[in-house]
Amino acid sequence: MSREVNVDKSNGVLGWFRRRDVVIYPRGWLQIGLLVLVIIANVVANYEGELAPVVPILLPFLKLNLIDYGFIVGGTTVVSGIVAMLLGSRFDRYGRTVFIVLGTFITAIAVFAMVLVHNTLEFIIVRLIMAIVLGLVLPATTGLVRDFTPRVGRALGFGLWTFGPVGANFLAAGVAGWTLPIFHDRWQSQFYIMGTVCLVISIVVALFIRDLSPNLRAQIVRNHQDVRTAEKNASRVRGEIANPRLVFASFRIWSLAVGIVLFLLVYYFTTAFGPLYLATVFKYPPAKAAGIASYFWLANLASLIVVGVISDWLQLRKICSMIGVVGAIVFMFFWIHLIGHTVSVSTMIWYTSIQGVLLGIGFGPWMALYSETLEDIHPTLQGSGWALWSFAQYVIAGIAGGLTFVIVGGIGFAGFFYICMAGMFVYGIVLLGARGPWFKRGGMGLLTHSHASAQPGAGN
């Protein structure tokens, strides 16, 4: 169990560097600073963003066709899910930061290593290393967001968290669109740039990121008025970890995890193949395709923040998410019928931005809903719960990624997007059975470890 310490001003900066746990609930600038560290660590971990913009150039260099590349993406993505599931309970037992610090350093090294890749085997090895790290870091960072945000503020906290996966794509796509022409479309240039960014971030994260003490992680805080009570409860109880089977055996948790992954199938496609799709179907140059894709991520980020604020204010997770689901389904009909038409760059920027907004509206409130459902089962099992989601996400997304171009070869991109639309329908059905209010504000007060322990079956 991690050592518990107080963070007091008398110890100054040196005191901060000596300690890995804090027993005060983060407020004000401390909360903002810790969340920023989680976000930038997540940027590093989401290596896919560094790869996607250069795929149209990289594949001819490696002599890879689309189907083989799809299988490589799918296989390594499944590895991320397996790693997360195997180590999920360790995130709760040993804290989150040790996995984050180790993972960001390894990812930075792996990004640099991409410039040494000359064949398919070397490419697979580097991707595999990155995939293992992602399986470690993603559940750890989502656990920290829950630790640092009360329920009133949780959706905004997770909206900021998405600056990791979404920000990685936006940053890499924007940098590629700007610098590829400067470096005469040399794909290696992007890994020198992004590797430097990742290394700097990993050093900052290692120096400053912290865990909550196990006792404080065992509390459920609804709002900042409950913080003092949570800290008092934490001083009287031991931070015992509940049995992860409470989460792994919950049908509601599995349905929420699988449902949102099906909703986000088109998001995962855009992450891995977005610039490649735009370059292949609409014949944009690689740099222009990467630039267009950056607007998708920018719009997605903005929508996640806005819907997070609204969802926290209303404390209505399900209806906010359902609005995104309905909008995304309607938009997919339109998106499918764009195939085969000539679309100007400026118009395509608008279309991809709308898609990014709708996916953000559907996804942001779900993260808060999922975290709060986990808390209702037991507050010490956030790491296990997010590891379960990572497993569902990466296995399903990995299989979909591996089969993408097999499906496209058989029924075209339109057929593949209809499958994505069906996934959105499934998630909408899952939302109907989720816990929580639709139109009347929810309002649970402070729950403690003892309260949660008295209801071990909650949420099943």
What is the number of domains present in the chain? Answer: 1
Biggest alpha carbon–alpha carbon distance for the chain: 67
Cα dihedral across residues 314, 317, 319, 323: positive or negative: positive
Residue type, 444: M
Single out the residue of 79, 296, 95, 263 nearest to residue 177, CA to CA. 296
Kindly report the CATH number assigned to the domain that includes residue 34.
1.20.1250.20
pLDDT score, position 263 = 92
Single out the residue of 154, 169, 79 nearest to residue 402, CA to CA. 79
- Measured between alpha carbons, how far is 136 from 80 in angstroms, rounded to an integer? 8
Query: Which structural domain, as residue segments, surrounds residue 166?
Result: 20-226+240-450
Q: Which parts of 378-441 fold into alpha helices (H)?
A: 382-432
- Measured between alpha carbons, how far is 426 from 128 in angstroms, rounded to an integer? 31
Single out the residue of 278, 460, 442 nearest to residue 377, CA to CA. 460
Which string of b and e fits 52-65 if b means at least 16 CB within 10 Å?
bbbbbbbbeebebe
Three-state DSSP class for residue 219: coil
Residue 11 lies in a domain: no
- Measured between alpha carbons, how far is 168 from 197 in angstroms, rounded to an integer? 11
Residue 455 lies in a domain: no
Residue 372 lies in a domain: yes
The DSSP element (H or E) to which 48 belongs, if any, is helix 48-51
Q: Which parts of 94-249 fold into alpha helices (H)?
A: 97-113, 120-148, 154-161, 165-179, 188-208, 214-217, 227-236, 245-248
Q: How many helices (H) and strands (E) does the chain have?
A: 20, 2
Write out the two tokens for 129.
């290393």
pLDDT score, position 440 = 67
- Measured between alpha carbons, how far is 231 from 299 in angstroms, rounded to an integer? 38
- Measured between alpha carbons, how far is 95 from 110 in angstroms, rounded to an integer? 24
2 Cβ partners below 8 Å, 6+ apart?
20, 21, 94, 95, 211, 213, 214
Task: Render 319-358 in DSSP notation, one character per residue.
Answer: HHHHHHHHHHHHHHHHHHTTTTS---HHHHHHHHHHHHHH
Residue 136 lies in a domain: yes
What radius of gyration do the chain's Cα atoms show?
A: 21
Within the chain, which residues score under 50 in pLDDT? 1-10, 443-460
Return the DSSP state at 280: H
- Measured between alpha carbons, how far is 394 from 81 in angstroms, rounded to an integer? 5
pLDDT score, position 2 = 40
pLDDT score, position 382 = 83
**383 and 217 in contact (C-beta within 8 Å)?**
no
Residue 373 lies in a domain: yes
Residue 233 lies in a domain: no
The DSSP element (H or E) to which 373 belongs, if any, is helix 345-377
pLDDT score, position 329 = 93
What angle do helix axes 165-179 and 286-314 make, rounded to 10 degrees?
150
pLDDT score, position 258 = 92
Give CA 187 to chain center in angstroms: 26
Length of the chain, please? 460
Write out the two tokens for 44.
């590093």
293 Cβ partners below 8 Å, 6+ apart?
52, 53, 169, 173, 270, 274, 275, 278, 352
Residue 458 lies in a domain: no
Residue 109 lies in a domain: yes
